[in-house]
Amino acid sequence: MFDTRELGRRPGALTRVSRTVPAPAGLGIEVIGVPEGAPVEIELRLESVVDGVLVTGTARAPLEGECVRCLEPVHDEGVAEFQELYSYPDSDGRGRQAAADEEEGEEAGFLEGDLFDLEPVLRDAVVLALPLQPVCREDCPGLCPDCGARLADDPEHHHDDAVDIRWAALRDYSRTLGSGERPREE
C-alpha cells in the first residue's frame, strides 16, 4: 500500500516515491518470472488530478527462468512501465466511471482513504513485459532434435542421414551394384 496524504487533493500537485519491495508469489509465466521475495525497485510519480491520483511508474526486478531452446538457466533483469488512475472514492465521476469500466470488463482502481494498492497493476505490468520465449543468448542453437544434445557444447554435432524405410531396398540394391556383384535375376 502506498500513501497519498502528502499529495493532498490539489490538482497539479506532484510527488515522487522510490521504494524497494519484496516480489509477491507467482509473478511470472511458466518459463520465466521474478522469484518470490526478490527485491523489486519501484520508482513512482504520483500526480493529483481532478478525479484522483495518477500513478506513473517503473519497476525493475531480477528474472530467473530457463532458455526455451536449450533449457539452460536464464538470469536477467526485467523492466516494466505502468500508469494507473486511482479515483477518489467520493468523486462525482465514480458512478459513470465504474459503469464504463464494468462494460469493458476492467476493474477500476480506487483510493482506500489515502492509500492505494499497487500490486495488481504491478503484477499486470511485469507479466506483460516478460519475454514470451526467453533465451540464454540470442544465437542459442538449442538442442539436437534427434538425441537432445546441447548444440552450443558441440557445434559439429550431427547424425548420419536417416534413410526412409520405403527406400531401404533400393539402397541395398545400389550397394550391391557398387560392389561389382551382379544382382540375381529371379
The answer to whether 52 touches 86, Cβ cutoff 8 Å, is: yes
Angle subtended at Cα 112 by Cα 109 and Cα 115, rounded to the nearest 5 degrees: 95
User: What's the full length of the chain, in residues?
Assistant: 186
The answer to whether 114 touches 88, Cβ cutoff 8 Å, is: no
Residue 125 predicted with pLDDT over 90: yes
Q: Residues 66-79: what's their mean pLDDT?
A: 93
Neighbours of 78 (CB within 10 A): 21
Confidence of residue 185 (pLDDT cuts 50, 70, 90): low
- CA distances (Å), origin 122, targets 50, 119, 165: 24, 5, 56
The per-residue pLDDT for 82 is: 93
Neighbours of 42 (CB within 10 A): 20
Residue 159 predicted with pLDDT over 50: yes
CA distance 63 to 41: 13
Q: Count how many Cα atoms sit within 13 Å of the Cα of residue 136 in the half-sphere of its side chain.
A: 15
CA distance 134 to 64: 10
pLDDT tens digits along 75-107: 999 999 999 988 877 765 544 444 444 444 445
Question: Which comes out higher in pLDDT, residue 60 or 116?
Answer: 60
